[in-house]
Structure 1
Amino acid sequence: MQLTGARNGRSKTRPEGLAERIYLQLKDDIFCFRLLPGDRFSENEVAERMAVSRTPVRQALFWLEREGYVEVFFRSGWQVRPFDFEYFEQLYDLRIVLELEAVKRLCAVAETPDALWVLKQFWIDEPRLEDGQTVSRFDEEFHMTLVAAAGNAEMAKIHRDLTEKIRIIRRLDFTKDARVNATYNEHASILLAITQRQTQEAQRQLQDHIAVSKAEVRKITLHMLHQARPENEADSPSF
Protein backbone atom coordinates (compact mmCIF):
# COMPACT_ATOMS: atom_id res chain seq x y z
CA MET A 1 0.00 0.00 0.00
CA GLN A 2 1.23 3.51 -0.68
CA LEU A 3 1.30 6.64 1.40
CA THR A 4 0.74 10.11 0.06
CA GLY A 5 4.08 11.88 0.26
CA ALA A 6 5.51 15.37 0.14
CA ARG A 7 6.28 16.62 -3.35
CA ASN A 8 8.51 19.64 -2.90
CA GLY A 9 11.59 18.44 -1.07
CA ARG A 10 12.10 18.27 2.66
CA SER A 11 9.50 20.11 4.68
CA LYS A 12 10.62 23.06 6.82
CA THR A 13 7.56 22.87 9.07
CA ARG A 14 8.31 23.14 12.78
CA PRO A 15 8.94 19.67 14.31
CA GLU A 16 5.73 19.52 16.36
CA GLY A 17 3.56 20.49 13.40
CA LEU A 18 5.46 18.12 11.14
CA ALA A 19 4.92 15.18 13.48
CA GLU A 20 1.23 16.01 13.66
CA ARG A 21 0.96 16.13 9.88
CA ILE A 22 2.65 12.73 9.58
CA TYR A 23 0.43 11.36 12.35
CA LEU A 24 -2.74 12.54 10.60
CA GLN A 25 -1.58 11.20 7.22
CA LEU A 26 -0.70 7.77 8.60
CA LYS A 27 -3.97 7.63 10.51
CA ASP A 28 -5.91 8.50 7.38
CA ASP A 29 -4.01 5.82 5.45
CA ILE A 30 -5.04 3.27 8.09
CA PHE A 31 -8.66 4.44 8.17
CA CYS A 32 -8.92 4.34 4.36
CA PHE A 33 -7.20 0.92 4.10
CA ARG A 34 -4.22 2.24 2.15
CA LEU A 35 -2.26 0.77 5.04
CA LEU A 36 -3.81 -2.58 5.86
CA PRO A 37 -3.92 -4.54 9.11
CA GLY A 38 -0.70 -6.54 9.33
CA ASP A 39 1.30 -4.30 6.96
CA ARG A 40 4.88 -3.82 8.14
CA PHE A 41 7.12 -0.84 7.47
CA SER A 42 10.15 0.99 8.83
CA GLU A 43 10.63 4.55 10.03
CA ASN A 44 13.08 5.08 7.19
CA GLU A 45 10.48 4.07 4.60
CA VAL A 46 7.95 6.56 5.96
CA ALA A 47 10.58 9.30 6.26
CA GLU A 48 11.78 8.78 2.71
CA ARG A 49 8.28 8.74 1.30
CA MET A 50 7.27 11.93 3.12
CA ALA A 51 10.67 13.62 2.59
CA VAL A 52 11.26 14.23 6.30
CA SER A 53 13.68 13.07 8.97
CA ARG A 54 13.02 10.05 11.19
CA THR A 55 12.46 12.14 14.33
CA PRO A 56 8.94 13.44 13.55
CA VAL A 57 8.07 10.06 12.00
CA ARG A 58 9.01 8.29 15.23
CA GLN A 59 6.97 10.77 17.28
CA ALA A 60 3.92 10.29 15.05
CA LEU A 61 4.24 6.52 15.26
CA PHE A 62 4.47 6.60 19.04
CA TRP A 63 1.22 8.58 19.11
CA LEU A 64 -0.42 5.98 16.90
CA GLU A 65 0.98 3.18 19.05
CA ARG A 66 -0.49 4.77 22.17
CA GLU A 67 -3.90 4.88 20.47
CA GLY A 68 -3.62 1.24 19.46
CA TYR A 69 -3.30 1.58 15.67
CA VAL A 70 0.26 0.33 15.24
CA GLU A 71 2.78 -1.70 17.20
CA VAL A 72 6.56 -1.74 17.19
CA PHE A 73 8.78 -4.82 17.00
CA PHE A 74 12.35 -4.80 18.28
CA ARG A 75 14.75 -4.73 15.32
CA SER A 76 11.98 -5.35 12.78
CA GLY A 77 10.13 -2.05 12.45
CA TRP A 78 6.47 -1.19 12.78
CA GLN A 79 3.23 -2.96 11.95
CA VAL A 80 -0.36 -1.86 11.54
CA ARG A 81 -2.15 -3.80 14.25
CA PRO A 82 -3.92 -6.87 12.89
CA PHE A 83 -7.68 -6.51 12.85
CA ASP A 84 -9.17 -8.01 16.00
CA PHE A 85 -12.94 -8.25 15.76
CA GLU A 86 -13.17 -9.64 19.30
CA TYR A 87 -11.48 -6.45 20.56
CA PHE A 88 -13.99 -4.27 18.72
CA GLU A 89 -16.87 -6.42 19.99
CA GLN A 90 -15.72 -5.70 23.53
CA LEU A 91 -15.51 -1.98 22.80
CA TYR A 92 -19.03 -2.00 21.37
CA ASP A 93 -20.29 -3.87 24.43
CA LEU A 94 -18.78 -1.20 26.69
CA ARG A 95 -20.28 1.51 24.51
CA ILE A 96 -23.74 -0.01 24.91
CA VAL A 97 -23.37 -0.15 28.71
CA LEU A 98 -22.36 3.51 28.90
CA GLU A 99 -25.03 4.77 26.54
CA LEU A 100 -27.86 2.77 28.11
CA GLU A 101 -26.94 4.18 31.51
CA ALA A 102 -26.84 7.68 30.03
CA VAL A 103 -30.32 7.23 28.54
CA LYS A 104 -31.62 5.98 31.88
CA ARG A 105 -30.30 9.10 33.62
CA LEU A 106 -31.61 11.44 30.94
CA CYS A 107 -35.09 9.96 31.24
CA ALA A 108 -34.99 10.42 35.01
CA VAL A 109 -34.25 14.15 35.10
CA ALA A 110 -37.08 16.60 35.65
CA GLU A 111 -36.15 18.81 32.71
CA THR A 112 -34.66 17.77 29.37
CA PRO A 113 -31.11 19.17 29.01
CA ASP A 114 -30.66 21.89 26.40
CA ALA A 115 -28.13 19.72 24.56
CA LEU A 116 -30.88 17.28 23.60
CA TRP A 117 -32.97 20.06 22.06
CA VAL A 118 -29.93 20.99 19.98
CA LEU A 119 -29.72 17.38 18.82
CA LYS A 120 -33.42 17.41 17.99
CA GLN A 121 -32.93 20.49 15.83
CA PHE A 122 -30.27 18.76 13.74
CA TRP A 123 -31.70 15.23 13.52
CA ILE A 124 -35.40 16.11 13.22
CA ASP A 125 -36.03 19.73 12.33
CA GLU A 126 -33.32 20.60 9.82
CA PRO A 127 -32.99 19.21 6.25
CA ARG A 128 -31.06 15.98 6.07
CA LEU A 129 -27.47 15.91 4.90
CA GLU A 130 -26.49 13.43 2.21
CA ASP A 131 -22.71 13.14 2.56
CA GLY A 132 -22.05 10.00 4.56
CA GLN A 133 -18.74 11.05 6.07
CA THR A 134 -20.21 14.34 7.26
CA VAL A 135 -23.14 12.50 8.82
CA SER A 136 -20.70 10.10 10.48
CA ARG A 137 -19.13 13.00 12.39
CA PHE A 138 -22.54 14.23 13.51
CA ASP A 139 -23.41 10.65 14.50
CA GLU A 140 -20.41 10.53 16.82
CA GLU A 141 -21.45 13.89 18.25
CA PHE A 142 -24.99 12.59 18.82
CA HIS A 143 -23.84 9.68 20.95
CA MET A 144 -21.17 11.64 22.82
CA THR A 145 -23.70 14.36 23.58
CA LEU A 146 -26.15 11.84 25.04
CA VAL A 147 -23.49 10.57 27.43
CA ALA A 148 -22.14 14.03 28.30
CA ALA A 149 -25.65 15.36 28.96
CA ALA A 150 -26.16 12.63 31.57
CA GLY A 151 -23.85 14.61 33.83
CA ASN A 152 -21.01 12.22 34.69
CA ALA A 153 -17.75 13.71 33.43
CA GLU A 154 -15.70 10.52 33.92
CA MET A 155 -18.26 8.44 32.06
CA ALA A 156 -18.20 10.97 29.22
CA LYS A 157 -14.38 10.85 29.08
CA ILE A 158 -14.32 7.06 28.83
CA HIS A 159 -16.97 7.24 26.12
CA ARG A 160 -14.95 9.81 24.12
CA ASP A 161 -11.88 7.59 24.26
CA LEU A 162 -13.99 4.64 23.21
CA THR A 163 -15.43 6.59 20.29
CA GLU A 164 -11.92 7.32 19.03
CA LYS A 165 -10.94 3.65 19.17
CA ILE A 166 -13.90 2.38 17.16
CA ARG A 167 -13.84 5.19 14.59
CA ILE A 168 -11.71 3.15 12.21
CA ILE A 169 -14.61 0.80 11.51
CA ARG A 170 -17.63 2.77 12.69
CA ARG A 171 -17.24 5.37 9.93
CA LEU A 172 -17.82 2.61 7.36
CA ASP A 173 -21.46 2.47 8.42
CA PHE A 174 -22.01 5.68 6.46
CA THR A 175 -20.80 4.52 3.07
CA LYS A 176 -24.32 3.51 2.04
CA ASP A 177 -27.26 5.88 1.57
CA ALA A 178 -29.67 3.47 3.25
CA ARG A 179 -27.62 3.50 6.43
CA VAL A 180 -27.47 7.31 6.45
CA ASN A 181 -31.27 7.50 6.23
CA ALA A 182 -31.66 4.80 8.87
CA THR A 183 -29.39 6.75 11.23
CA TYR A 184 -31.56 9.85 10.89
CA ASN A 185 -34.74 7.87 11.55
CA GLU A 186 -33.33 5.96 14.51
CA HIS A 187 -31.76 9.00 16.15
CA ALA A 188 -35.04 10.89 15.85
CA SER A 189 -36.96 8.03 17.42
CA ILE A 190 -34.46 7.68 20.28
CA LEU A 191 -34.62 11.41 21.03
CA LEU A 192 -38.41 11.42 21.09
CA ALA A 193 -38.47 8.45 23.48
CA ILE A 194 -36.02 10.20 25.82
CA THR A 195 -37.89 13.52 25.84
CA GLN A 196 -41.10 11.60 26.56
CA ARG A 197 -39.37 9.81 29.48
CA GLN A 198 -39.93 6.36 27.95
CA THR A 199 -36.86 4.80 29.53
CA GLN A 200 -37.24 1.18 28.43
CA GLU A 201 -38.30 2.11 24.92
CA ALA A 202 -35.42 4.56 24.50
CA GLN A 203 -32.93 1.97 25.77
CA ARG A 204 -34.36 -0.72 23.50
CA GLN A 205 -34.16 1.51 20.45
CA LEU A 206 -30.63 2.62 21.28
CA GLN A 207 -29.41 -0.92 21.80
CA ASP A 208 -30.97 -2.06 18.52
CA HIS A 209 -29.48 0.95 16.75
CA ILE A 210 -25.95 0.15 17.92
CA ALA A 211 -26.34 -3.59 17.26
CA VAL A 212 -27.39 -3.04 13.65
CA SER A 213 -24.53 -0.60 13.11
CA LYS A 214 -22.03 -3.06 14.61
CA ALA A 215 -23.19 -5.86 12.33
CA GLU A 216 -23.09 -3.61 9.28
CA VAL A 217 -19.57 -2.31 9.87
CA ARG A 218 -18.27 -5.83 10.43
CA LYS A 219 -19.69 -6.91 7.09
CA ILE A 220 -18.34 -3.85 5.28
CA THR A 221 -14.93 -4.15 6.92
CA LEU A 222 -14.52 -7.76 5.84
CA HIS A 223 -15.55 -6.83 2.31
CA MET A 224 -13.15 -3.88 2.13
CA LEU A 225 -10.25 -5.90 3.49
CA HIS A 226 -10.91 -8.58 0.89
CA GLN A 227 -10.97 -5.99 -1.88
CA ALA A 228 -7.92 -4.12 -0.60
CA ARG A 229 -5.66 -7.15 -0.30
CA PRO A 230 -6.00 -9.73 -3.08
CA GLU A 231 -4.95 -13.23 -2.11
CA ASN A 232 -1.71 -13.01 -4.06
CA GLU A 233 -0.62 -9.61 -2.72
CA ALA A 234 2.55 -9.47 -0.66
CA ASP A 235 2.33 -8.81 3.07
CA SER A 236 4.41 -5.62 3.04
CA PRO A 237 3.15 -2.23 1.88
CA SER A 238 4.83 -0.66 -1.16
CA PHE A 239 6.14 2.69 0.02
Structure 2
Amino acid sequence: MKHRNLTRIFSILTALSIATVFGFQANSQTTTSFTFAESIEGRAPAPDNTTPAEYDGPQTVKGLMNAFDTAYNQRFSKVKVTATFGDGVVYRSELAISGEIDARHSRVEWLHMLLQRGITIEDFDDYRIYLSKRHTLAFLEDNPDLRKIGFLSMPLTDDQEAYKLAYINKLVKKKNQKEIREASKRVERIKEQIERSEKQLERAKKQSNPQRLKHVQVQLERAEKQLEDVRVQLKRIQEVLEHLKKPTPPQDLTPPEKPK
Protein backbone atom coordinates (compact mmCIF):
# COMPACT_ATOMS: atom_id res chain seq x y z
CA MET A 1 0.00 0.00 0.00
CA LYS A 2 1.37 3.40 -0.92
CA HIS A 3 1.37 6.12 1.73
CA ARG A 4 2.14 8.98 -0.63
CA ASN A 5 3.52 9.53 -4.09
CA LEU A 6 7.23 9.12 -4.64
CA THR A 7 8.48 12.02 -6.76
CA ARG A 8 12.17 11.50 -7.29
CA ILE A 9 14.56 8.77 -8.30
CA PHE A 10 16.64 7.45 -5.42
CA SER A 11 20.28 6.50 -5.79
CA ILE A 12 20.88 2.90 -4.78
CA LEU A 13 23.85 1.55 -2.87
CA THR A 14 23.03 -1.95 -1.69
CA ALA A 15 24.12 -3.86 1.38
CA LEU A 16 22.41 -7.18 2.04
CA SER A 17 21.76 -8.57 5.51
CA ILE A 18 19.74 -11.49 6.82
CA ALA A 19 17.95 -11.45 10.16
CA THR A 20 15.72 -13.82 12.10
CA VAL A 21 13.06 -12.46 14.45
CA PHE A 22 10.32 -14.13 16.50
CA GLY A 23 7.91 -15.90 14.18
CA PHE A 24 9.61 -14.54 11.07
CA GLN A 25 12.53 -15.17 8.76
CA ALA A 26 13.50 -11.90 7.13
CA ASN A 27 15.69 -10.68 4.31
CA SER A 28 16.38 -6.95 4.49
CA GLN A 29 18.19 -4.73 2.01
CA THR A 30 19.35 -1.33 3.23
CA THR A 31 20.61 1.48 1.00
CA THR A 32 21.45 5.15 1.41
CA SER A 33 17.85 5.99 0.44
CA PHE A 34 15.63 3.12 1.53
CA THR A 35 15.27 -0.08 3.51
CA PHE A 36 13.68 -3.06 1.79
CA ALA A 37 12.57 -6.10 3.79
CA GLU A 38 10.92 -9.45 3.11
CA SER A 39 9.68 -11.40 6.14
CA ILE A 40 7.98 -14.78 6.15
CA GLU A 41 5.71 -15.52 9.09
CA GLY A 42 6.02 -19.00 10.54
CA ARG A 43 3.63 -21.38 12.24
CA ALA A 44 6.11 -24.09 13.28
CA PRO A 45 9.80 -23.88 14.29
CA ALA A 46 11.11 -26.32 11.67
CA PRO A 47 10.11 -28.83 8.98
CA ASP A 48 9.00 -32.22 10.27
CA ASN A 49 11.22 -35.30 10.24
CA THR A 50 9.89 -36.41 6.85
CA THR A 51 11.36 -33.34 5.13
CA PRO A 52 14.84 -34.07 3.71
CA ALA A 53 17.68 -31.91 5.04
CA GLU A 54 19.21 -31.98 1.56
CA TYR A 55 17.47 -32.79 -1.69
CA ASP A 56 19.17 -35.13 -4.15
CA GLY A 57 16.11 -36.07 -6.18
CA PRO A 58 15.19 -34.89 -9.68
CA GLN A 59 15.09 -31.14 -10.28
CA THR A 60 11.46 -31.21 -11.36
CA VAL A 61 8.38 -29.41 -10.10
CA LYS A 62 6.81 -32.71 -9.06
CA GLY A 63 9.90 -33.95 -7.23
CA LEU A 64 10.48 -30.71 -5.35
CA MET A 65 6.85 -30.20 -4.35
CA ASN A 66 6.54 -33.79 -3.17
CA ALA A 67 9.64 -33.29 -1.03
CA PHE A 68 8.96 -29.83 0.43
CA ASP A 69 5.44 -28.56 -0.16
CA THR A 70 3.76 -30.19 2.84
CA ALA A 71 6.37 -28.76 5.22
CA TYR A 72 6.16 -25.36 3.52
CA ASN A 73 2.38 -25.22 4.03
CA GLN A 74 2.67 -26.38 7.63
CA ARG A 75 5.45 -24.00 8.57
CA PHE A 76 4.57 -20.71 6.89
CA SER A 77 1.41 -18.62 6.67
CA LYS A 78 2.18 -15.29 4.98
CA VAL A 79 4.92 -13.01 3.71
CA LYS A 80 5.30 -9.31 4.41
CA VAL A 81 7.22 -7.02 2.06
CA THR A 82 8.10 -3.45 3.04
CA ALA A 83 10.05 -0.61 1.45
CA THR A 84 10.74 2.37 3.72
CA PHE A 85 12.34 5.45 2.20
CA GLY A 86 14.45 8.04 3.95
CA ASP A 87 11.81 10.76 3.74
CA GLY A 88 9.20 8.60 5.47
CA VAL A 89 7.44 7.15 2.43
CA VAL A 90 6.44 3.55 3.16
CA TYR A 91 5.16 0.85 0.82
CA ARG A 92 4.02 -2.47 2.21
CA SER A 93 2.33 -5.69 1.18
CA GLU A 94 1.09 -8.70 3.13
CA LEU A 95 -0.25 -11.73 1.28
CA ALA A 96 -1.18 -15.17 2.58
CA ILE A 97 0.85 -18.04 1.16
CA SER A 98 -2.17 -20.27 0.72
CA GLY A 99 -4.74 -18.67 -1.55
CA GLU A 100 -3.65 -15.11 -2.25
CA ILE A 101 -0.16 -15.47 -3.69
CA ASP A 102 -0.85 -18.91 -5.19
CA ALA A 103 -3.76 -17.40 -7.12
CA ARG A 104 -1.51 -14.72 -8.61
CA HIS A 105 1.66 -16.72 -9.23
CA SER A 106 1.11 -20.45 -8.96
CA ARG A 107 3.84 -22.54 -7.37
CA VAL A 108 3.87 -24.98 -10.28
CA GLU A 109 4.47 -22.29 -12.90
CA TRP A 110 6.92 -20.38 -10.71
CA LEU A 111 9.09 -23.39 -9.94
CA HIS A 112 8.92 -24.51 -13.56
CA MET A 113 10.19 -21.15 -14.84
CA LEU A 114 13.06 -21.18 -12.35
CA LEU A 115 14.08 -24.75 -13.13
CA GLN A 116 13.97 -24.18 -16.89
CA ARG A 117 16.37 -21.28 -16.44
CA GLY A 118 18.92 -23.36 -14.55
CA ILE A 119 18.03 -22.76 -10.90
CA THR A 120 18.88 -25.72 -8.65
CA ILE A 121 16.97 -26.19 -5.39
CA GLU A 122 19.10 -28.19 -2.99
CA ASP A 123 17.23 -28.00 0.32
CA PHE A 124 14.13 -26.73 2.11
CA ASP A 125 15.63 -23.29 2.64
CA ASP A 126 16.16 -22.87 -1.11
CA TYR A 127 12.55 -23.91 -1.66
CA ARG A 128 11.29 -21.40 0.91
CA ILE A 129 13.37 -18.53 -0.42
CA TYR A 130 12.45 -19.00 -4.07
CA LEU A 131 8.73 -19.37 -3.37
CA SER A 132 8.78 -16.27 -1.15
CA LYS A 133 10.16 -14.24 -4.07
CA ARG A 134 6.67 -14.39 -5.60
CA HIS A 135 5.59 -11.97 -2.89
CA THR A 136 8.25 -9.45 -3.87
CA LEU A 137 7.08 -9.59 -7.47
CA ALA A 138 3.46 -9.08 -6.36
CA PHE A 139 4.60 -6.15 -4.20
CA LEU A 140 6.27 -4.51 -7.19
CA GLU A 141 3.27 -5.20 -9.43
CA ASP A 142 0.97 -3.49 -6.91
CA ASN A 143 3.10 -0.34 -6.63
CA PRO A 144 3.43 1.45 -9.99
CA ASP A 145 5.37 4.31 -8.38
CA LEU A 146 8.18 1.88 -7.60
CA ARG A 147 8.10 0.40 -11.08
CA LYS A 148 8.40 3.88 -12.57
CA ILE A 149 11.75 4.45 -10.85
CA GLY A 150 13.12 0.98 -11.66
CA PHE A 151 13.06 -0.07 -8.01
CA LEU A 152 15.44 -2.98 -7.22
CA SER A 153 17.07 -2.38 -10.63
CA MET A 154 14.01 -3.67 -12.47
CA PRO A 155 13.31 -2.56 -16.06
CA LEU A 156 10.89 0.24 -16.87
CA THR A 157 7.96 -1.48 -18.58
CA ASP A 158 4.18 -1.64 -18.29
CA ASP A 159 4.11 -5.14 -19.78
CA GLN A 160 3.28 -7.36 -16.79
CA GLU A 161 4.49 -10.57 -18.42
CA ALA A 162 7.77 -8.97 -19.51
CA TYR A 163 8.20 -7.58 -16.00
CA LYS A 164 7.65 -11.03 -14.49
CA LEU A 165 10.18 -12.63 -16.83
CA ALA A 166 12.70 -9.91 -16.03
CA TYR A 167 12.24 -10.57 -12.32
CA ILE A 168 12.68 -14.33 -12.77
CA ASN A 169 15.81 -13.74 -14.84
CA LYS A 170 17.12 -11.39 -12.16
CA LEU A 171 16.85 -14.19 -9.57
CA VAL A 172 18.62 -16.61 -11.89
CA LYS A 173 21.36 -14.13 -12.71
CA LYS A 174 21.99 -13.37 -9.05
CA LYS A 175 22.42 -17.04 -8.19
CA ASN A 176 24.64 -17.70 -11.20
CA GLN A 177 26.88 -14.75 -10.36
CA LYS A 178 27.30 -16.16 -6.85
CA GLU A 179 28.15 -19.57 -8.30
CA ILE A 180 30.71 -17.96 -10.62
CA ARG A 181 32.43 -16.26 -7.68
CA GLU A 182 32.53 -19.51 -5.72
CA ALA A 183 33.72 -21.57 -8.70
CA SER A 184 36.42 -19.01 -9.52
CA LYS A 185 37.74 -19.30 -5.97
CA ARG A 186 37.76 -23.09 -6.34
CA VAL A 187 39.75 -22.77 -9.57
CA GLU A 188 42.41 -20.72 -7.79
CA ARG A 189 42.59 -23.19 -4.89
CA ILE A 190 42.93 -26.15 -7.26
CA LYS A 191 45.62 -24.37 -9.29
CA GLU A 192 47.61 -23.88 -6.09
CA GLN A 193 47.11 -27.55 -5.26
CA ILE A 194 48.33 -28.57 -8.72
CA GLU A 195 51.37 -26.34 -8.36
CA ARG A 196 52.24 -27.96 -5.02
CA SER A 197 51.73 -31.45 -6.47
CA GLU A 198 54.01 -30.67 -9.42
CA LYS A 199 56.77 -29.57 -7.04
CA GLN A 200 56.28 -32.72 -4.96
CA LEU A 201 56.43 -34.77 -8.15
CA GLU A 202 59.77 -33.26 -9.10
CA ARG A 203 61.18 -33.96 -5.64
CA ALA A 204 59.94 -37.56 -5.76
CA LYS A 205 61.63 -38.06 -9.15
CA LYS A 206 64.93 -36.70 -7.83
CA GLN A 207 64.70 -38.92 -4.74
CA SER A 208 63.97 -42.01 -6.87
CA ASN A 209 61.05 -42.86 -4.60
CA PRO A 210 58.59 -44.92 -6.72
CA GLN A 211 55.95 -45.19 -3.99
CA ARG A 212 55.97 -41.46 -3.29
CA LEU A 213 56.05 -40.73 -7.02
CA LYS A 214 52.93 -42.82 -7.63
CA HIS A 215 51.09 -41.18 -4.74
CA VAL A 216 51.85 -37.66 -5.99
CA GLN A 217 50.88 -38.59 -9.55
CA VAL A 218 47.48 -39.76 -8.31
CA GLN A 219 47.03 -36.50 -6.39
CA LEU A 220 47.99 -34.48 -9.45
CA GLU A 221 45.60 -36.36 -11.73
CA ARG A 222 42.77 -35.90 -9.23
CA ALA A 223 43.42 -32.16 -8.97
CA GLU A 224 43.56 -31.77 -12.75
CA LYS A 225 40.23 -33.60 -13.03
CA GLN A 226 38.70 -31.31 -10.40
CA LEU A 227 39.99 -28.28 -12.28
CA GLU A 228 38.42 -29.51 -15.51
CA ASP A 229 35.10 -30.16 -13.75
CA VAL A 230 35.02 -26.65 -12.29
CA ARG A 231 35.86 -25.11 -15.65
CA VAL A 232 32.98 -27.04 -17.21
CA GLN A 233 30.71 -25.72 -14.45
CA LEU A 234 31.87 -22.16 -15.11
CA LYS A 235 31.22 -22.57 -18.82
CA ARG A 236 27.70 -23.84 -18.13
CA ILE A 237 26.94 -20.89 -15.85
CA GLN A 238 28.27 -18.42 -18.41
CA GLU A 239 26.04 -20.01 -21.05
CA VAL A 240 23.02 -19.58 -18.77
CA LEU A 241 23.87 -15.92 -18.25
CA GLU A 242 24.21 -15.41 -21.99
CA HIS A 243 20.87 -17.12 -22.53
CA LEU A 244 19.22 -14.73 -20.07
CA LYS A 245 20.01 -11.86 -22.42
CA LYS A 246 17.41 -13.42 -24.73
CA PRO A 247 14.56 -14.50 -22.40
CA THR A 248 12.51 -17.45 -23.56
CA PRO A 249 8.83 -16.54 -24.07
CA PRO A 250 6.58 -18.40 -21.63
CA GLN A 251 4.61 -20.05 -24.43
CA ASP A 252 7.79 -21.78 -25.60
CA LEU A 253 8.32 -23.48 -22.24
CA THR A 254 7.64 -27.19 -21.87
CA PRO A 255 4.44 -27.57 -19.81
CA PRO A 256 5.30 -28.48 -16.21
CA GLU A 257 4.37 -31.82 -14.73
CA LYS A 258 2.02 -31.19 -11.83
CA PRO A 259 2.58 -33.11 -8.59
CA LYS A 260 0.00 -35.70 -7.60
TM-score normalised by the chain length of structure 1: 0.31
| Bigger helix share | 1
Larger Rg computed on CA atoms? 2
